[in-house]
Every structure is written in structure tokens, then in C-alpha cells.
A and B are shown apart, each in its own frame.
Chain A
Amino acid sequence: MSQSRYFYWLFLMNSLINIINFVPRELVDTRFKGAQTSILAAVVVGTVFIYLFTALMAKFPGKGVQEIMDTTFPRGITIPLMVIFAALWCAAGLITILSFVDITLRFISPDTGPYLVVIGFLIVVCFCACLDSLTLLYGMEVMLGISVPLILYTLIKAVTNPHFSWDAVLQIITYFPHAPDVKSIAAATFSFSGYINMAVFNRVLPKLRLKHRWILGVQGLAVLLLTFYVPIGYFGTVAVEKHIYTWFSTADSIRINTFLIERMLFIFYFAYLNLSLTSVIIHWHVGKELLTGLFPSGKSPKSKASIWRGPAILGLFSVITLILMRLDQYQLNVLGIWFLHARWGGEFLLIMLLFYCYTVLRRRNP
């Protein structure tokens, strides 16, 4: 397999991580009012976005978004744009980390101080996000190799459980014919936004040859449907709305009869902690790269100032995280939903900008 597999991994990671970022909550909220048509719409929109974005990036081999923008726009425009995008990426990591701290405190170690946990996460994330891009892709692949089998095991265990209520799922399917809801579409497209990390990783993956991009659509659809139906099968069509972290409650309902560990929750938690830390590392790395690119590259890349730029930016991200630790669960949820919508707009904006850059490029050298 060639280098292109890393693109698929980026996508896979984002689509799996959606259950941390409040996507199931948003879908469950509209389960009687068009969540399922929204999922279908999101699959279409998401796949179209992937096609557009990868096609555009392919025109700029080996370049990040930063370099592409620099060729077209004056610095006065690129700087605010990059800051906005970096903020979005920072927020993506931030929400994952905050909700995971919440999950940890609620499900795993209620006695440990919240700040101890978040600082533990932040240390490893900041240390890792400073590494070079290729390293992170290798690391992500390894982490997926550890987590995905465990997640698949959880899924199989969940669906084959005799207590899984297929009736509830069938009942919710009867609510299918409803007009899609924009908010739900925005939330559901999060599963598809892994491709957007190529904004930076395109630099280290110049020879990207993407075959079978439709697989991404199918996979995203499968993930979204499972995300949506499995909790309903466990908690019923109405009671499902009472859970904040729907999927963790689901995993907690599954028992393993013949293993050292009895509750599925811990295996699921282990897999998802791995994945979400990796995802935060990737997101913050992208955010960091976007911001460091704004500084004029000095003559010596090893100069003291440029070495400290990355850690300083990550330190800033960490400080924001620590400040936002004061949010309660409700506010965090609101922030998460707000981010899901803003991110959708951001993606659209980025694709438009890239398209503009491409037309300018075509006009310059036809």
C-alpha cells in the first residue's frame, strides 16, 4: 500500500471520533424530526466535499493551504484567514479533550482531580503535537491499529447482544420520511471532515493517488448509522435522550462473560482514549502548523525563536483549554454544537478559497 493510505486513516479517525464530539447527541435530539434523512444528506454533502477538496489539493502537490494562499492573496488577507482556521482546529481538539476529561471523571476515575487529568492529557498532547507531520501519521496508524479492532469488537458485541432491541430500531426507522434538519446535517458531516487535515499533511504526502473515494462515503454512512441506531437499540426510542455520552452509556450496558475485564466500558474507553488523544494531537498539530506558517521564515530554521514558536502556540491552546475547564456540561454541549456548525462553514469557506486560488493559478499560467 502506498502513502495514500494515510489519507484514509485521517478520515477513519475523524469518523470514529464523532461520538466524542456530541454528534450522536445532536442526531438523537432530532430522531423524530428527520435525523435519518439528515444522515443521508450529510453523506452526500460530505462525499462531495471530499471529492472537491482532494481534487483541488491534487492541483497543488506537496503544498499546504498556507503556501497555496500565499501565492494568491496578500498577507493582510491570509493572516486573518489562517487565524480563523487555526482557531477552528484548536476548537476541534479542545472540545474532544474537554469532553473526554468529562467522560473520564464520570466513568473511570471520579476521585482524580479534573485538573490533574486534563494536565496529564495536555502534557502528552503538546509533546506529541510538536513532532513532525510524518511521525504523527505513522503514530496515528499504530493507534488505529490498536483501537479499531477493539471498537469493532465492541460493535459486534453490541449488535449481537440478545438484549439489543431491534424493535426500537425498526420503530425509529418509521420516522424516516421527514425533511432533513440543517443542524443535524452540520453535525453529521463532522464524520466526513477528516479529509480537511490534508490542509497541512498534503506537504508530506506529495504523491497522493486516491482510488475508490466512494469507500469513504460508504464507511461514513455505516459509522453514522451505527452511531445513531445502536444506542437507540439499547435505551429505547425515548430514553436515549437522557444520556449525555450516549455511546459510553451504551458500552457500559454490555457485559463480557469470559474475560478478565467484565464491563465492555473499559475496553471501549481504552480504545477511545487512544483515538481521541491521537485526534487531538493531529488537530492541534494542524492548528500549530497553520499559525507557525504565519511567521516569516527566518534564514536559519534552527534559530531559537522558531524552535519556541510551536510550543508557545500549543501552550496558548492549553491555556484556553484550562480556562474552558470551568464550563459545565451544558455549556460544553452548547460549545460543541456551536463548533460543529462553525466547522461546517469553515470547511465550505476553505474549499471556496482553494477553488479561487486554483482559478487564479489557471489564469496565470494557462
Chain B
Amino acid sequence: MELHEDLFRHEAGRMTAALTRLFGMQNLALAEDVVQDAFCRALELWPRRGVPPNPAAWLMTTARNRALDVIRQQRTASTFAPEIARLLDSEWTAAALVDEAFTPALIRDELLRMIFACCHPDLPESAQIALVLNILCGFGAPEIAAAFLERRSAIEKRITRGKKVLASTSRLTDLRAGDLAPRLAAVHRTLYLLFNEGYHGSSSRGVVRAQLCEEAIRLVTLLGEHEATAVPATFALGALMLLHAARLPARLDAAGDLIALWDQDRQRWDRDRIAQGRALLDRSASGTALSSYHVEAAIAAVHVGAASVAATDWRAIVELYDQLMVIAPSPVVALNRAVSLAERDGPPAGIAALQELDGDDRLAAYPFFPAARGELESRLGRTEAAARYFEEALRLARNDGERRFLERKLERLRS
């Protein structure tokens, strides 16, 4: 029996979810101890006896038994979840309650509850993301630090502080009541940022980074499965992720370097993901509110629907960017709009749109701003100007992947 490479990460989130249902969010550390305990048992037994036929179920059973021990030993010393503390007092109801907490449907609800708990309004977005990755996705501080190019100690602090805030929320979020709606936007945003960090992130390599997209898709799928969170914006966000993720296989070359959309081998796009993304986009087309996720997903859908760059419906894409500039204006959206405009109306129109963004300090350190200008200058045959812009972009490159990508552009220009 082989070990699935994400087994421990995925099960850690599910086990913690079931255990915090029993112990209460204020005992999150206790829940994590029980998870670690189950992992230690596995490490002692599996290498000697072999991996059990259903390793996930084995871990769950071990955590369940350990939870019952903890409840027996500590029920007078600790205060568990207030809603169920009374039931844990009796041996008979305690066992039934522990079993119930480990049923798949309740684990799913509990995971959902934890996503919302992590997106606590008192926490900055960076802490929300770190908590989601740590508690739900099972990444440790070193892995998160590597993915976000930050110091391990900084991430550790962020997680510790975040967990303190979570521990202070003793009441469980009620999935059916109005508890979810006010935080849903923050949850969407956190998952969106998580996906983006994996897709466009500032660090080009690292084991975790490639998995961030998968984790974001996993969690947004979970949101789509529960009636309380299965709203149009959730489906739009899911569509956006899937339609982008469909292009992942063609986005890096054999050496791990970035390949621009213009040069990607479209045969390598993931057809299943495209179909899933389109289905979600259809489901998102209800209700009256048009979110930025709808528009971004629609743009991604136009791209994956085109056989080539030339065959792309740039008219539709420019219109969608115009819409996005109304709902969620940002300099990066404006930059993308300018690039699309150049495809629709020719390089001079693109350059004019880029010039309007000159001096925006939010783009001052963004390498793809000068790179876009360089690209358009080179199409007009103004090689020297193009090289100047690419050199500037190269100075701003944030990692080796971007650096090599821009160096290749420069080489091609000079040859």
C-alpha cells in the first residue's frame, strides 16, 4: 500500500475539524495535540506493519479513540464546547457524540465553519491566509514561509496570534443562521488570494506554491457543496480558479520557466478542468449581483475557448475588462486592459492606454508593467526602446523565474 502524498495534510484538517467540534475552538491546541498523537502512532506502526488498507480511516479512528480518552480524563478539568459539554458528562452520550463528530457530513460542515473562523474580522488578510493554510490545509510555518517568501518567525507569530483570536471565540458559528453571510466576502477574498499566490505568486518555486492552487480549489468546492455558501459568487470564484488552473500544465517549460499565454501549447490545457470551470460559470449566472469573480472567470473562459491568440475574441475581453474597471478597478486590471486593447486595436492603442498609467506608484515595482510596454514597442519595430523597457523590467524581477523569462525576451530582441 502506497502512501498518498497529501494524506497527512488533508487528514490533519479534517481531524482538527472533528476534534474542535467536540473540544470547542478555545481548545484548538488540544485538538492539534490529538492529531499529532495519531500521527505518532502511525509512524510507530506503519513502517513495521505496512500502511493499512484505508489510512485515512485508520487515522480518524485513532483520533476518535484518543478524543474519547481526553474527554474521560479531562472532563472535570477542561471546559469543552459549551453546547455539548453536558452530553460529554455521561459516558454513553459522550461516545455517541464523538462518533457523530467523525461522520463525513459533520466533518465537512466543521471544515466550513473553520474557514469562516479563520476569516475573523479582527485579523488582517495575511493572518487569515496563514491560518487557513495551517489549520485547514495542514502546512507548517516553514512551508508557508517558503511559499510567501517570508521569514519563518514572522509566519509563526502570525499563526500564534491568529490562534489566540480564534480561541477567544467560544461560540460555534451556526451554519444555518445569518452568521456566514457577513463573512462570506472575506472568505472568498482569502481563497482568491490563496489561489493567486499559487498562480502568479512572487516566489517562483517551492513545493508548497504549486499546491496552493489545488488547496484553494478544494476549499472553494467545499463552499459550493453547502447550501448556506452555494451562492453565485462562490461558483464564479470556483469557475475562475478552474479555468485558470486548466492552463497550469502549459505554463511552465521543462526547466520550470514561465511561458507567456502567447507561446503556450494549447494542446496541453486541461480539458476536464475547462469543462468543470464552464459548468460552474453557468451555475454562477443567477441572481442579480455581478461580482468581479464573474467577470474574471468570463475573461478566462474566452481565453480557454480560443484555438490561438489570433483567434481570441479580444473585443469581448476588452469589454469585460471595461466592466471590471467599474466593479473592481485596480492598476493591474488597467494594465491587462491595455494589453488586450493592443490586441484588438493594435500596439499604438495599447501604448496610449499604458501611458495613462505612467507614474502610478502601485505599478512602480511591478515588472510586467515595463515588460508590457517593451512588448508593444518591439512589435512596432522600435527595438532600442523595447530593450530599455525590458531592462527596466529585469531590474524589478522578483524571482529567478521572472528574471529568466525577461532575459529570454531581451535575448530574442537583440538577436
A and B: real partners? Answer: no
